[in-house]
């Protein structure tokens, strides 16, 4: 019974992480119809920024518990700066173009950002584990579990909740949803498409950076983070349905639990559990669990 609890918890924690890295991607696709291959780089940016901020923070000897706010701040900073820069600087020129070229443009962006990060932060790993250690160990049914994992869970829930509120509760949020469902009609009805696009991409960037920022204390921040993340994020987005936030939440949960199950029961399959789920979804319900697009031709 203990193992079931561990599997569940592991699954939930991993799902939280997956949700954070994929929510932004699906949002951006839903509104802008662009699959952002540089999404992983935004995540990495968040991680690097968070690492730097945290190191700076503890250098000043500030109140330790506030470091979490510092992480949040780093993510917001990255999103607020990189988001508009990328959207206005690159994306606005490729809207409506052949999807192949859009893919390549974002791939080029990914390459550029990778080296940019190398230039700024170098190639040596950054360790910013203090926020991780602060939360100590929690006993879960007698089994020690890192407290930080629950923070991650909390952050994901908070992010999900805020998105929910934003979408249902605010006017702009509803406009975003309208654009996801029908961009042409939205434009015809006077929605300020460029403004909503800018806002959406920035929001997506913040989410990605958030994922990176809160992951930073758990890992060594090195070049190459983006590469792994982007593929996982894609898989979750495909599973959940392109453009659907509920989809990426449910997809994240599904993958998280499946992977957790694999890790504890059939470790050999762990690495490609997610791709198997993705392939299955593509075969059985190609538009994803909550997706809305037409997918196949007869």
Partner 1 sequence: MKLRRFGGLILIAGMAGLGLLLPGWSRFLLTLALARGLLVLGVALLMQAGLVSFGQGLFFAAGAYAVGFAARDLGIRDAGLGVALGAGAGLGIAALTGPLLARYRGIFFAMLTLAFSMILYGILVKAYRITGGTDGLRIPPPTFLGWSLPEEHLGSGLYLFTLACTAVMVFLIFRYLRSPLGYTVRAIRDNEVRVEYLGLSVSRALYITVLLVGAMGGLGGALSAMSVGHVDPNLAYWTTSGEFVFVALLGGTGNVFAPLAGSIVFEFLRTYAYKYIPYTWQMGLGLVMLAIVGFAPGGLWSLYELIARRMSGWTWSWKRGV
Q: Please give the residue ranges that form the binding site for partner 1 (CB under 8 A).
A: 35, 90, 93-94, 98-101, 103-105, 107-112, 114-116, 118-119, 123, 227, 231, 234-235, 238, 242, 268-272, 275-276, 278-279, 282-283, 286, 295-298
Minimum CB distance to partner 1 smaller for 152 or for 242? 242
Contacts of 206 (CB under 8 A, 6+ apart): 24, 75, 76, 78, 79, 80, 83
Give the CA distances from residue 100 to residues 34, 113, 207, 294, 295, in Å, rounded to whole numbers and listed in that order: 10, 20, 25, 18, 16
Q: How far is the CB of 126 from partner 1 (least distance, A)?
A: 17
- Which of residues 44 and 175 has its CB atom nearest to partner 1 in the complex? 44
**Nearby residues of 106 by Cβ (< 8 Å), 6 or more positions away:** 34, 35, 36, 37, 38
CB of 114 to partner 1, least distance (A): 5
36 or 149: CB nearest partner 1:
36
Nearest-approach distance from CB 112 to partner 1, in angstroms: 4
CB closer to partner 1 out of 20 and 238: 238
Three-class secondary structure assignment of 177-226? HHHHHCHHHHHHCCCCHHHHHHHHHHHHHHHHHHHHHHHHHHCEECCCHH
The pair phi, psi for residue 46, each rounded to 5°, is -60, -40
Minimum distance, C-beta of residue 278 to partner 1, in the bound complex (Å): 5
**Which CB, 149 or 260, lies closer to partner 1?**
260
* Least Å from the CB of residue 132 to partner 1: 27
CB of 239 vs partner 1, minimal distance in Å: 10
Taking the least distance from each CB to partner 1, the nearer of 9 and 41 is 41
């Amino acid at each position: 019974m203990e193992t079931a609890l561990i599997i569940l918890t592991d699954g939930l924690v991993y799902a939280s992480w997956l949700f954070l890295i994929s929510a932004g991607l699906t949002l951006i696709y839903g509104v802008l119809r662009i699959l952002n291959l540089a999404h992983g780089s935004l995540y990495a940016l968040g991680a690097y920024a968070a690492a730097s901020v945290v190191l700076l923070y503890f250098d000043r000897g500030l109140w330790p518990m506030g470091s979490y706010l510092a992480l949040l701040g780093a993510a917001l900073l990255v999103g607020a700066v990189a988001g508009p820069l990328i959207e206005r600087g690159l994306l606005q020129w490729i809207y409506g173009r052949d999807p192949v070229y859009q893919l390549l443009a974002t791939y080029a962006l990914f390459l550029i950002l990778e080296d940019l990060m190398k230039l700024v932060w170098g190639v040596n790993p950054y360790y910013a584990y203090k926020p991780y250690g602060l939360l100590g160990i929690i006993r879960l049914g007698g089994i020690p579990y890192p407290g930080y994992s629950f923070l991650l869970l909390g952050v994901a829930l908070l992010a999900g909740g805020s998105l929910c509120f934003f979408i249902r509760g605010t006017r702009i949020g509803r406009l975003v949803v309208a654009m996801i469902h029908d961009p042409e009609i939205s434009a015809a009805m006077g929605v300020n498409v460029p403004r909503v696009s800018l806002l959406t991409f920035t929001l997506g960037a913040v989410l990605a950076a958030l994922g990176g920022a809160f992951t930073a204390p758990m890992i060594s921040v090195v070049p190459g983070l983006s590469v792994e993340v982007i593929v996982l994020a894609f898989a979750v987005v495909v599973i959940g349905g392109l453009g659907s936030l509920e989809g990426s939440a449910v997809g994240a949960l599904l993958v998280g639990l499946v992977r957790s199950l694999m890790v504890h029961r059939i470790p050999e399959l762990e690495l490609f559990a997610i791709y198997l789920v993705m392939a299955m979804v593509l075969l059985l319900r190609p538009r994803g669990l909550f997706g809305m697009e037409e997918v196949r031709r007869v």
